[in-house]
Amino acid sequence: MQIDIMTLFPEMCEAFLSESIIGRARKKGCINIACHQIRDFAYDKHKRVDDTPYGGGMGMVMLAEPIFKCFEHICNLRGKRPTLIYMSPKGEVLNQAVAKEIKDLPNLAILCGHYEGVDERVLEEIADRHISIGDYVLTGGELPALVLVDTVARMVPGVLSDDICFEEESHYNNLLEHPQYTKPYEWHEKKVPEVLISGHHANIEKWKQEQSISETEKYRPDILKNSNI
C-alpha cells in the first residue's frame, strides 16, 4: 500500500511514522509512506500557502494552487491518481468499517488542512472523501491523518505478525475486546480467571466471546446492535 501525506509539517508526521510498529513495517517494505511539504509548491518567493478569507472572518485559509500542485506531483510520482482523503471535522466519522474500506486501496493520499481550512475549490476538484476522527476541532489535520494511517496500516498484510492480532480487537467485529491478563497469576489479591489457565481452548474462546458481549453492553451498548452476534 502506498500512502502520501500532504502537509505543512512533514517532520511532525515523520517523527511518528518512523517509530514502533509502523516504522518497522516501513523498513520491511510492507507499507510505503511519504510526506510531502505543501509549501514546496507555493508559487511566490515567500512560499506563502495561505491568505485572508473572502467575506471576512478570523484566521487564514490555505491557498488552492499549492495544494493542487502538490497533489499533481504525487499523481506524476506514482504514475496514477491516488484516492484523496481530506481530514476535516465536516467529514464522516472514522470507524473500523471505514478503515477496512480504505485499507484495500492500493494508493492513498491524505490532505492535512490547517489554519481556518482550505479553499473549497481545490477540495471540489481533488478530494474524493472527507473524514473526521471525531466531533471536535484540532489545530491541524496532521494528528487526524496519523490516526487514519495507524488504523489502516495495521491491517495491511505483514505490518502485524498475524491477522488475528487485529481481528480479535475492539470494534473489528462491532464488539469490544475481552479483558486481558498477564503474569503474575495473582496481583493485589485478584486472580486471573481460571478458564484462561485451563488449557481448554473451546471454553477459552467461549469465555472471550461472552466477555466481549458483556464489555460492549457495559461500555458501548450503542454499537452492540451492529455486532455479528
Q: How far apart are CA 136 and CA 116, in angstroms?
A: 14
User: What is the third-level CATH fold of 168-224?
Assistant: Trp Operon Repressor; Chain A (1.10.1270)
CA atoms of 166 and 182, how far apart (whole Å):
19
Distance of CA 62 to the CA centre of its chain: 23
Quote the cell numbers at residue 137.
Answer: 476541532
SS3 44: coil
225: which 3 cell numbers? 446492535
Instruction: For domain 2-153, give the CATH superfamily.
Output: SPOUT methyltransferase, trefoil knot domain (3.40.1280.10)
Q: Could you tell me where in the chain the CATH 3.40.1280.10 domains are found?
A: 2-153
Predicted pLDDT at 98: 95
- Write out 102-161 in H/E/C secondary structure: HCCCCEEEEEECECCCECHHHHHHHCCEEEECCCCCCCECHHHHHHHHHHHHCCCCCCCC
Cα–Cα distance for residue pair 54/56, rounded to 1 Å: 5
Distances (CA, A) of 23 to 29, 110, 121, 160: 10, 18, 35, 12
**pLDDT the model gives residue 116:** 85
Using DSSP bridges, classify how beta strands 50-51 and 61-62 pair: parallel, antiparallel or unpaired. Answer: antiparallel
The SS3 of residue 79 is coil
pLDDT recorded at residue 58? 85
- List per-residue pLDDT tens for the chain, 229 residues long: 999 999 999 999 999 999 999 999 999 999 999 999 999 999 888 999 999 999 988 899 999 999 999 999 999 999 999 999 999 999 999 999 999 999 999 999 999 999 889 999 999 999 999 999 999 989 999 999 999 999 999 999 999 866 544 455 545 677 888 999 999 999 999 999 999 999 999 999 999 999 999 999 999 898 887 666 6
Tell me if 153 sits within 8 A of 1, measured CB to CB.
yes
pTM, full prediction: 0.85
User: What are the start and end residues of each CATH 1.10.1270.20 domain in the chain?
Assistant: 168-224
